[in-house]
Structures are given as C-alpha cells and as structure tokens.
Amino acid sequence: MKKAAIYARVSTPDQHLETQLYDLRKLAAQRGFEIVREYSDHGISGSKARRPGLDAMMADARRGEFSVVLVVAFDRIARSTKNFLEIVDELHALNIDFLSGRECIDTSGPMGRMFLTMVGSIAELEKSLIVERIRAGMRRAKMEGQRLGRAPLNVDRAAIVRDRLSGMSLTKVAKRHGVSRATVVRLVREAKQQEIVAAA
C-alpha cells in the first residue's frame, strides 16, 4: 500500500478546506492509498511562493515520508506553470508521484507527465489573456476619457490639516470630516512636504 500525502488550499475565507480534504480522502481510499500526512494552507493565494502547508509537505517529501501526493486540482499547488512544474519536478526526482483529481492526472506514467505540462501551459496562457484583456479595457477607458482609480476626495484639505496640527486627535479629525484616519495622516504628510519644498 502506497503512503500518501494530501494537500489542500483555499485562498478566501468563504471557501472550505474540509470539502477538499473529504474529496482527497475518498480518492485515496479508491486508489488503495494510506494517508500518512495531511497538509493545508488557508487564505493564501496560489501565486505566493512561500506557503507554510506546502513548505512542510515538501520538507517531509525530502525525508521520504510518503510516495504519492494527492490534490483536488493542480491549481491548488500553484498558479504559475513555472512554479508548478518546479514542484512536480522535485517530487519526481524524489520518486514521489503526483495525482490530481479534477484533471485525472497521474505522473506515475509518461502520458500523465505530458498532459501535466500541457494543462499547466494552457492555464498560464489563460492567465496571460485575462491580464491583457484588463489592460486593453483600461486603455480603452482612458481613450474615452473615463477616470481610472479612486475619485478625488471632495473635502476641505486645509481644514483637516489645520485641525490635526492644532492637536485634535486623529480619530476625532477623521470623524469630523468623514474620512479615514489614513487619509488624515496622508493629507498632513503631504502638507508638510509642500511646506518643505516651498521653504527650499
């Protein structure tokens, strides 16, 4: 019986790790694997290179704690093809198979490895196309004269700075003018910088 590790990750608080873990335990039972370790990362994007759960799994992999890794989908491991293939390559070098439930990919065979690379490349292409569509939309909006980013604050900046410099608390100034504490700090800092420039 192969010793297996399962890895689950969710990137937002409204997602549930337990759903992935349940599916992975079921997949392991169907394949006749013995789960010896469970790893997870909660509220962490797949684009982050450092993830505690993934890092712990890779450290145990190097110690030979298991011989197969199961995930519900390959994008749980990483979002970039480069990072994804680096992880799978290291697992392969350690004689550890990688199995993805959604894509039905099993790297224990050459066909699995080929499909792994193809699917990863398609996901990377899709991400690049999304980024390019966003940039194109922003260019079009700019050409049409639409404002991009936050709208300018319609507040009495001088009054905010004056109240804060008079000794009024940060919280009181923010409430009085209906802005955030961060905005008060920023406006005061900008005013002081302008004074330094004017004095020079």
Q: List, by residue number, the catalytic residues.
A: 11
Q: What's the full length of the chain, in residues?
A: 200
Report how far apart the first and last C-alpha atoms of the chain are (Å, whole number): 77
CA 14 to chain centre: 15
Q: How do beta strands 68-71 and 34-42 pair?
A: unpaired
User: Do residues 68 and 5 make contact, with C-beta atoms less than 8 angstroms apart?
Assistant: yes
In whole angstroms, what is the distance from residue 154 CA to residue 11 CA?
35
Q: Single out the residue of 159, 147, 150 nearest to residue 187, CA to CA.
A: 159
Sign of the alpha-carbon dihedral angle for 175, 177, 181, 184: negative
∠ Cα 71 119 91 (to 5°): 45
